[in-house]
Structure formats: structure tokens, C-alpha cells
């Protein structure tokens, strides 16, 4: 009697393919990595806000774009560099974008204040734009890396572990971007000399700002002290003009002021007619310039004597 033994066929261990990894929880789907429309919008919005600031468009025109460029776009770009699409929902993404944007401003402000240009709106706009564009580039590169992994053929010879949704190496991206931008600003402006300017101020007859005239008699001369601090690199000549909305009221000078010196001189003017809240402009002209170099404003009530 012949006994047939059933032979056991050893099955080769099942190899995990890339497809199995693609459906692991927590990984963004392949389709979410293929579109970069949001990053294009972020970069375009940031550049548009910068262009509006450079062109000095009216505030109502650039208000909404400026708010988005300062409080949303930097944080959104940094958040995308840290957490690719599919990991956070809309509320979490919005909260992270706002928080990171505020963080960028808080970190930048005290350092930019040390630069020669100071903490001005133009400097802050340029720095925030640079951070946004750099973070957008980092988010694009990481998204492209994830897309390449998802789109690779399933029959590849080597099975690699999929990229992590949150890679600790990418956690340094926002801080690195901020530091790169700030170092660039500090290198370009911190060592530069602050621009030399002339200070122009007025004082009351007693030599204090508290003595400035606010209510005077029409037709009666009023005297104020005009101060000029020459912070230019050379001796300069200055002329002071006082005018109202309709006429020139007085002219004084020229005053020659040495470099680094301060000159204080009285100037008298007369408001011809009574009236409340009359705007008096005190203009400083340097040399033979036809345009005012500095200007001050007084609002005075003139009553009938």
C-alpha cells in the first residue's frame, strides 16, 4: 500500500509593498501632495502686500492684504513646512497659522529695532515677506518629497519607510528661516551709520513745550522759539517760514548752524483774523531748497481783541 504524503510548500514571507505604507493612518493621501495652488497664493499674496507697501498705496486699499500678509501667510507657510497636507484639519491649520505669524512678528521686532533703519513699517514688511517666501519654498520642497514617494511604482526593489508626517528635522525650519532673514538684515544695516538728520522743534516764550500758544488775540504778534539741531556732516544754512492756510505770516533767517550744534531763535507772527482751530505751519528750508526740509504744525484759536 502506497502512502502519499502531502508535501508542505513553504510560502515566502510576505513583503510589504509601498502600497501598504501609503494607507497607514496619519499619512497624507497622494492626491493632497500634487497641488501647490495654496503655496502659489501665499507667495503671490506676500509679494502683493510688499508691492503695495513700496508704492505707498492708500491704507484702505492695502489694509486687508496687509493684515493677511502679516497675520496669516507667514504662519501658514511655516505650518505647511512642518505639517504637510492631510495631517491637520481646517481649524487646527488656521490656529497654527495665526499663532506662528504672531511668533514671527514677536521675534523679529526687537532685533529689527537694533538695525540702522529701525523698526519701521517698511522694514517689518520686507522681513515678513522674506520669511514667508523662504517658508513657502521649504513647504514646496517637502511636499514634493512626499509626492515623489506616493507616486513611485509599487514594484520597486527596495521598500523604504515612508517619510514621517512630522519630521523633527523640519522643526528647525521656522527658527532657521527667521534667523536667516534677521542675520541678513543685521549684516546689511546694523553696521551702517544711522542717517544724519536735522531736528526741528518749537518752544513757547518761556523755553518749554508747555508754553506753546493755543489761544491768541487776532492782530497781535505772537512769539515762539524755533530750535534747529544740525546733525548733518557740514555747516548748513536754514530759513524758517510761518504760514497759515491763506497767507505767509512771517519769515526768519537765514540761520547758519555748525555741524553738531543747536540754534534757538525767536520768531514772531500775527494771525490777521479771528477764528477757532486755525492751522499754522512752521516750515524749515535748508540752503536754497524750494521744498520744506522739515515742518511743524500749531492749531490756534484767535479771538477778536
Question: pLDDT (tens digit, 9 = 90+) per residue, 212-244?
Answer: 777 888 888 888 888 888 877 788 888 888 888
- For residue 235, give the C-alpha cell: 555747516
pTM over 0.85: no
Per-residue pLDDT, averaged over 139-154, amounts to: 73
pLDDT at 3 over 60: no
- The count of other CB atoms within 10 Å of the CB of residue 43 is 20
Burial status of residue 249 (CB atoms within 10 A of its CB: 0-12, 13-18, 19 or more):
buried
Q: What pLDDT, in 10s, does the model give residues 82-117?
A: 887 777 888 888 888 898 889 888 888 887 777 666
Kindly report, residue by residue over 24-62, the tens digit of the pLDDT: 444 444 444 447 888 899 999 999 999 998 888 888 888
Query: At 126, which helix (H) or strand (E)?
Result: helix 121-151
Domain 199-303 -> CATH class: mainly beta
User: Quick one: pLDDT at residue 165?
Assistant: 47
| Residue 214 C-alpha from the chain's centroid | 38
Are the C-beta atoms of 245 and 277 separated by less than 8 Å?
A: no
Residue of higher predicted confidence among 191 and 81: 81
Under 8 Å between Cβ of 225 and 204: yes
Mean pLDDT of 191-202: 64
Give the bridge partners for 225, in sequence order: 203, 266
Identify the pLDDT of residue 192.
47
- Among 166, 168, 194, 20, smallest CA distance to 83 is for 166
188 dihedral zone (left: phi>0; alpha: psi -120 to 50; beta): alpha
Residue boundaries of the structural domains of the chain? 18-189, 199-303
Query: Which are the contacts of 203, defined by CB distance < 8 A and separation ≥ 6?
Result: 209, 211, 212, 224, 225, 227, 264
Amino acid at each position: 500500500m502506497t502512502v502519499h504524503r502531502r508535501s508542505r510548500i513553504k510560502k515566502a514571507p510576505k513583503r510589504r509593498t509601498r502600497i501598504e505604507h501609503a494607507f497607514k493612518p496619519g499619512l497624507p493621501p497622494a492626491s493632497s501632495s500634487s497641488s501647490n495652488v495654496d503655496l502659489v497664493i501665499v507667495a503671490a499674496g506676500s509679494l502683493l502686500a510688499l508691492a503695495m507697501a513700496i508704492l505707498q498705496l492708500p491704507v484702505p486699499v492695502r489694509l486687508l492684504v496687509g493684515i493677511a500678509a502679516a497675520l496669516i501667510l507667514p504662519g501658514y507657510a511655516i505650518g505647511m513646512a512642518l505639517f504637510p497636507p492631510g495631517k491637520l484639519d481646517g481649524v487646527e491649520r488656521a490656529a497654527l497659522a495665526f499663532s506662528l505669524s504672531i511668533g514671527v512678528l514677536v521675534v523679529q521686532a526687537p532685533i529689527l529695532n537694533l538695525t540702522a533703519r529701525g523698526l519701521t513699517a517698511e522694514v517689518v514688511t520686507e522681513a515678513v515677506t522674506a520669511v514667508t517666501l523662504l517658508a513657502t519654498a521649504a513647504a514646496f520642497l517637502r511636499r514634493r518629497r512626499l509626492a515623489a514617494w506616493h507616486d513611485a511604482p509599487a514594484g520597486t526593489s527596495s521598500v523604504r519607510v515612508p517619510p514621517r508626517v512630522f519630521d523633527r528635522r523640519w522643526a528647525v525650519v521656522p527658527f532657521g528661516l527667521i534667523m536667516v532673514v534677521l542675520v541678513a538684515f543685521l549684516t546689511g544695516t546694523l553696521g551702517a551709520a544711522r542717517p544724519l538728520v536735522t531736528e526741528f522743534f518749537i518752544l513757547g516764550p518761556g523755553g518749554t513745550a508747555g508754553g506753546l500758544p493755543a489761544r491768541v488775540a487776532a492782530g497781535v504778534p505772537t512769539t515762539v522759539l524755533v530750535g534747529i539741531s544740525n546733525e548733518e556732516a557740514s555747516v548748513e544754512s536754514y530759513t524758517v517760514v510761518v504760514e497759515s492756510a491763506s497767507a505767509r505770516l512771517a519769515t526768519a533767517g537765514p540761520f547758519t548752524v555748525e555741524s553738531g550744534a543747536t540754534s534757538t531763535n525767536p520768531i514772531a507772527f500775527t494771525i490777521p483774523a479771528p477764528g477757532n482751530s486755525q492751522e499754522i505751519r512752521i516750515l524749515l528750508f535748508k540752503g536754497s531748497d524750494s521744498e520744506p526740509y522739515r515742518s511743524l504744525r500749531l492749531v490756534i484759536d484767535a479771538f477778536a481783541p
